[in-house]
Amino acid sequence: MKPGMASIRLPERAILGEAFRDTFLKLDPRELIRNPVMFIVEVGSVFASVLFLLSGLSPSPDSPPWFIGSIAIWLWFTVLFANFAEALAEGRGKAQAANLRRARMDTTAKRLLAPERGSRYDVVSSAQLRRDDLVIVEAGDLVPGDGEVIEGIASVDESAITGESAPVIRESGGDRSAVTGGTKILSDWLIVRVTSNPGDSFLDRMISMVENASRQKTPNEISLNIMLSMLTLIFLLVTVTLHVFATFSSGGATSIPLVVLIALLICLIPTTIGGLLSAIGIAGMDRLIQTNVIAMSGRAIEAAGDVDVLMLDKTGTITLGNRQAVAFLPSEGIDAVTLAEAAQFASLTDETPEGRSIVVLAKKQFGIRARELTGQSADFIPFSAGTRMSGVDVDGHRIRKGSLDAVQRFVAAEGGSIPNCVLAAVEQIARSGGTPLVVVDRRLVLGVIHLKDIVKGGIRDRFAAMHRIGIRTVMITGDNPITASAIAAEAGVDDFMAEATPEKKLGMIRELQAGGHLVAMTGDGTNDAPALAQADVAVAMNSGTQAAKEAGNMIDLDSNPTKLLDVVAIGKQMLITRGALTTFSLANDISKYFAIIPAAFASIFPELALLNIMDLHSPQSAVLSAVIFNALIIVALIPLALHGVRYTPATADRLLRRNLLIYGLGGLALPFPCIKLIDLIIQFLGG
C-alpha cells in the first residue's frame, strides 16, 4: 500500500461504526432480495421468530420455546454477519469516495476568450464548463476539470487523486499533457482545453466506481450467483419434501418439528459463500485501489485474472528508463584513461541520464574527478538532431561523442577514418544489445563507450513467475531486433517485438486475440490509444495523455507500468477466493447432515441415532450447534474474504491441488470438531 494512500483513509474505527449501522439497514428485504441465499435466510429467521412467539401457546417437548428462540436468534445472526461482511467491505470504498468527492467540490474557473495567456477571461463555476472550453489555471488554482494542456508548463499537486505528495510536471504536447480536475497548480501556469462535461469527469467516474463496486456484478459473479440460487432452490425443495417423506414413511403419526426443518434448510443452502460473495468482489476492487489502480469496471479486474499475454513496454517496465555507460573500450594505442577523461569532459554539461552515467563511470573506474570548468574557455556543443553528436571544443581539442555514422562523417571531414578495431568494438556492442558511442578528438578516434539498458532488479524472477502460471510476456520496444533480442534474453521475457510502431502493436494484439488469447498492456502516449482500446486489459498511466486514459479500462495513478503484474495477481486472487469459499461452503454440508438428520428424526426413527457419529448431546443441541457453526463460520471467514486467499504464482494444477486440499477437504473435516465443540459448550450451559 502506498503511504500516501493510507493518509487519505478514514480511521478504521469510523469505518467499523458505519459498517455496524449499515449491517442493520441491509436487513431491508428489498435490498436483500438481490442476494437470494441470504434472502432465504431472512425469511427463515422471520419464520422461526413467529414460531417462537407461538410456541408459548402450545409448548411441545420436541421443540421447547428456548430451543426455537435460540434457533431464531442465530438465524438472525447469520443474516447480520453476512450484512456486516458486505458493509465492512463497502466501508473502505465509501471512505475513499468521500475523500475524492471533497476534491470535486465546485471551483471557479477562468474561462479564456482567446487561446493565449493574457487574453480576457470570464470567471465561471466549474460546473458551467463544457467540452472544448479553454481555461487558464495559475499557481494556487485548482484545475476546474479534466483537460489537455495546450500551452505552458507547471508543477501540479495530484495528491488528491493519487495520494502521492510529490508534485508532477504537466506541459503541452507529448505524453504529459493531461490534467485532472481537482488537482492543484503549485507553480507557473497552464492553458487547458476542457475534455469532459460536468458529471462525466475522471474524478466522477472514479467516485462512482469506488462507490458502486457492490452494485455491478462481474460476469463470474453472475454465473456463481446462478449456481448458488439453483442450489438454494433445490435445497428448499429437499426440505419441504422431507416433511412429506418423513410423515409418510413413519406412517403419518408424527413428523419433524418445523423449526428443525428451517434450521436444516439454512444449514444446507450455501450461506457461507452466499453471505461473503459480494464482500469478496468489493474487497478485490479495494485491493486494486490500494495499489493505486482504478479499474473502470469490475469486468476489467476479472479479465485481468484471465489474461494470458502481457505486452510490456521495454522502457520503464523492463529496463530502467535510460541507458547507462558500462565500459570504455579504447582504440588501439589509446590509454583507457585518456578515453575516459575525454568522454567525461565531453559529457560534463550533458544533463541526459546517459551523459551523467558516463561521468559517473569515469569517476568510478579511474577516479577521474569532474574538472573545474571555471577559467577554461570551453565551448560545449549540445546534442542536435542535425549532427546527432554532442561534445566540447576546448584548447584546440574538438571532442565529439555520438553514433558511429554521425562520428564517421565528422572524422571524415577532419580528414581521418575509423580504425578497424573500433569498428569491431562497435559491432560487438551492438550485437550484445548495447548502444555504442564513439568518442573522437578531431581526427583521432579515442574509442567506444558501451551504453547499456539496465534491466530492473527482480524483474527476471517476476517474468519467471508469470511464465509458470502460463502467462506469456512480450516486450515491446522501438529498438532494432538485435538490441531487442539481447535485452529480451536478459530480462527473461518469452517474446519481443522490435521496431514497434502503434500499427504493429495493434496488429499483434488483434492477431493474439484471434487465436483466443487475452491480452493486457500498459500505455501512456496518444499513439498507444488504439492498442489500449483493443487490449482486453489496458492499464493507462495517469501521467499519460487524455486519449490514452480514455482508451484504457484501468488507470494506474502511480504511472508505474510494472504494476500490470500486480493487477493480474489481484484479478486471480479474487477468483480464487470465490472458488475456494464456494468449495468450502458446499463441503460443509456433509457434516451438517450428520448433525441434523439423526436429530431431526429422533422421535420418529430413533434407529437413525446410529448416524450421530459426533455423539452430540441431544437433538436440540445438535441442531443448534449446526446453526451456530453455520453463522460463526461467516464471521470467521470475513478476514479471508476481505484479504483474499493467499495467492502464490503456481501452475493451475498445483493451485487446484492446494486449494482443493485446504478448502475442499478442510471444508469436509473442519465442521465436525467445531460442531462438537459448540455442542459441548451448549451442554455446559445447560442446553
To another protein, the closest distance from the beta carbon of 575 in angstroms equals 5
Binding to another protein by residue 605, rule CB under 8 A?
yes
Q: Is 210 in the site for another protein (CB under 8 A)?
A: no
Q: Which residue's CB is nearer to another protein, number 401 or number 572? A: 572
* Interatomic CA distance for residues 34 and 246, integer angstroms: 33
For residues 645 and 576, give the distance between their C-alpha atoms in angstroms, rounded to a whole number.
7
Site residues for another protein, window 244-263 (CB under 8 A)?
Answer: 244-251
Shortest Å, Cβ 310 to another protein: 12
Give yes or no for residue 62 binding another protein (CB under 8 A). no
Q: How far is the CB of 599 from another protein (least distance, A)?
A: 12
DSSP β-bridge partners for residue 450:
327, 436
Length of the chain: 687
At its nearest, how many Å lie between another protein and the CB of residue 661?
A: 10
Minimum CB distance to another protein, residue 433 (Å): 28
d(CA 532, CA 552) in angstroms, rounded, equals 5
Least Cβ distance, residue 73 to another protein (angstroms): 25
What is the footprint of another protein within residues 500-539 (CB under 8 A)? Answer: 514-518
Q: Any contact of residue 469 with another protein (CB under 8 A)? A: yes
Among 25, 53, 139, 227, binds another protein (CB under 8 A): 227
Q: Which helix (H) or strand (E) holds 142?
A: none
Q: Kindly state whether residue 464 participates in binding another protein, applying the rule CB under 8 A.
A: no
- Asked if 220 touches another protein (CB under 8 A), the answer is yes
The only residue of 185, 268, 358, 670 in contact with another protein, by rule CB under 8 A: 268
**Smallest gap from residue 272 Cβ to another protein (A):** 14
Size of the site for another protein (CB under 8 A): 74
599 and 619 in contact (C-beta within 8 Å)? yes
Residue 333 or 516 having the CB closest to another protein: 516
Q: Is 338 helix (H, G, I), strand (E, B) or coil?
A: helix
> Considering only residues 345-384, where is the footprint of another protein by CB under 8 A?
none
> Scanning the structure block, which residue is given the C-alpha cell 470438531?
673
**Residues in CB range of 301: below 8 A, 6 or more apart:** 218, 284, 285, 288, 295, 567, 570, 571, 574
From the list 133, 204, 313, 350, the catalytic residue is 313
Residue 151 near another protein by CB under 8 A: no
The nearer residue to another protein, 198 or 644, going by C-beta atoms, is: 644
Binding of another protein by 613 (CB under 8 A) = no
When asked if residue 77 is in the footprint of another protein (CB under 8 A), the reply is no
Phi, psi angles (nearest 5°) of residue 388: 55, 40
Q: Which is nearer to another protein, 252 or 333 (CB)?
A: 252
Q: Is 601 in the site for another protein (CB under 8 A)?
A: yes
Bridge partners (DSSP) of residue 380 are 392
595: contact with another protein by CB under 8 A: no
CB 456 within 8 A of CB 320: yes
Judged by CB under 8 A, which stretch of 97-105, 173-181, 194-202, 644-652 contacts another protein? Answer: 644-652
Instruction: Tell me how far CA of residue 484 lies from CA of 315, 316, 429, 500, in angstroms.
Output: 11, 15, 13, 10
Residue 111 or 572 with smaller CB distance to another protein: 572
Among 86, 90, 479, 589, interactor with another protein by CB under 8 A: 589
Cβ neighbours for 649, distance < 8 A, ≥ 6 positions apart: 465, 466, 468, 469, 569
306 contributes a contact to another protein by CB under 8 A: yes
Chain centroid offset of residue 308 CA: 16
Contact between 230 and another protein per CB under 8 A: yes
Instruction: Rule CB under 8 A: choose which of 651, 669, 673, 677 binds another protein.
Output: 651
Query: Where are the extended beta strands (E) located within 265-396?
Result: 293-295, 309-313, 319-330, 379-381, 389-394
Q: Give the DSSP H/E element, type plus range, for residue 485.
A: helix 481-491
Question: Which one of the spans 221-229, 287-295, 422-430, 559-567 is the region binding another protein (CB under 8 A)?
Answer: 221-229
Instruction: Out of 46, 660, 666, 687, name the contact with another protein by CB under 8 A.
Output: 660
For residue 244, with 0-12 CB atoms within 10 Å meaning exposed, 13-18 middle and 19 or more buried, which class applies?
A: exposed
Cα dihedral 561, 564, 570, 571 in deg (nearest 10): 140
Q: Out of 93, 275, 544, 579, which residue is the one contacting another protein (CB under 8 A)?
A: 579
Distances 363 to 56, 331, 340, 372, 435 between C-alpha atoms, Å: 93, 20, 9, 14, 20
Q: Is 441 a catalytic residue?
A: no
Q: Which residue number, 221 or 441, has a Cβ lying nearer to another protein?
A: 221
**Residue 217 near residue 226 (C-beta atoms within 8 A):** no
Which C-beta is closer to another protein: that of 451 or that of 493?
493
| Contact (Cβ atoms closer than 8 angstroms) between residue 436 and residue 358 | no
Determine, following the binding rule CB under 8 A, whether residue 472 of this chain makes contact with another protein.
Answer: yes
Q: Which stretch binds another protein (CB under 8 A): 103-111, 311-319, 324-332, 572-580?
A: 572-580
The cell numbers describing 497, all together, are: 517485438
Which residues are annotated as catalytic?
A: 313
